[in-house]
Chains A and B, each alone.
Chain A
Amino acid sequence: MHGLRLAFSHLRIGVMNEFQYRANLYIQLLQTFIALGTGLVGLNLVFSQTTDLGGWNKAELLAVMGVFTMTGGLIRAAIQPNMERLMEEIREGTLDYALTKPADAQLFVSVREFRLWQNTDVVVGLIVLGVALSQLGWLLDVWAVLGFLSALFMGAVMVYSFWLIVTSTAFWFVRVNEIANLFEGLYAAGRWPVDIYPNWLRYGLTFLVPVAFAVTVPASALTGRLTLQTWLGALALTVFLFVVARVVWSIGLKNYSGASA
């Protein structure tokens, strides 16, 4: 309960902060449409040569692109900024104030930042997804929607856990800023369903950096591809990654010495 209130209060502050910088909205909108535009051009190029890519047709791939855009926006709005701030504070030893608060430290450092304007990606992603689903004739039942929402939630938790694990290594390695670039590079691969990639890459995108679970699996739920087996696997991996993240974070925190004043 306290946790929810904490998250909400920070969200409020984050939104107020973003209102101070209107220009960011326009830049972000521009960026969203450029990304969408190049995505659509790529998609059309592929489908001018073929009608099927690894078992996915054009409308289905458009759905993947919608989920990709939307999830990417969510990650950049709520997960990435918190982790980048955390990284910075570990490096500079300024995590102190966060740790003197009567709240779970992990929760506290995970909800402090919110980039409102990144949600343009979420909105545009949803529109793309809507268009794709209408092309597919809205063949959705309750299970597909539930599967989609739960897969999306699990994907987000997995990506969060991945970020927290890597960020926590800053307690030992001090400087891990490259992770943001690494993640963005790998996440870009999620634009296409992971089944089209060779095995080694597919496993990497599934278990090392959980892009598959953040994009491909939710999209599978909407296109009638999600099996119970995959769903249970996702659930198990979510719990596993979350626990590992919690443990790594706790050990790292014990290790925290703070750059001296």
Chain B
Amino acid sequence: MTATTTERPAPAGTAVLSLEGINKRFGAVQALTDVSLDVAPGEVVALVGDNGAGKSTLIKIISGVYQPDGGTITFAGRVVHVGGPSEAQALGISTVFQDLALCDNLDVVANLFLGQEKGTAGWLDEVTMEKESWRLLRTLSAKIPSVRIPIASLSGGQRQTVAIARSLVGAPKVVMLDEPTAALGVAQTAEVLNLIERLRETGLGVILVSHNMADVQAVADRIIVLRLGRNAAEFNVDETTTEQLVAAITGASDNVVADRIRRNQAAHHAGAHDA
């Protein structure tokens, strides 16, 4: 392994969510081997890795969709067992899935509170939910024309906004975002990155899964690289170059992306030296 692991900046005591030695096997495939991850409150941790590196499996283990074969999950200082998506939600871990998991036929309010409806004895309290929806959308400074229109009539960025706002219902401590900018345009991506900043400002632990190095470097505090189901490297974002990241992700420092960056830097250095 060529990537160098920097010393771990997150003190284990302050982490709100901490995974230790997670293993997961699907038949003959060892999807995760001894994977660790920490998130502190008010910290954005980016989880990067190539296709098949185990990012999605790890996300699904944290959100309770899969059960790990081994390892411990510590949440808010307690070792927990996440038995299912609703248990994760009850603990305070919410997930924004890549395909958003919204119901097109329901309006914004219904989607925000789906599975966590407010009401008494099974009867919905629409007024409280609508009021709360506006509050949530306002904390994200989100622009949604109406909370009473079906999701189908919203743009891609607005849907992502609704999905992220939904992750805040029920006051979670950790929010996981799976490829939140994958299908978005430039302006909408910027809007979503702003939302992530705001999540950090409100003191949440954020886990961001992304393929986009620019996005990761724009918002993350720490970057955890997975490769072939193992922790490959961990970086502080300020001390990291794209070159190092790419090298850690691909497991090799000799590829075209890294080469070009190196050439550019060499040229830049040469230029600086001349002047």
Q: State yes or no: do A and B come from one complex.
A: no
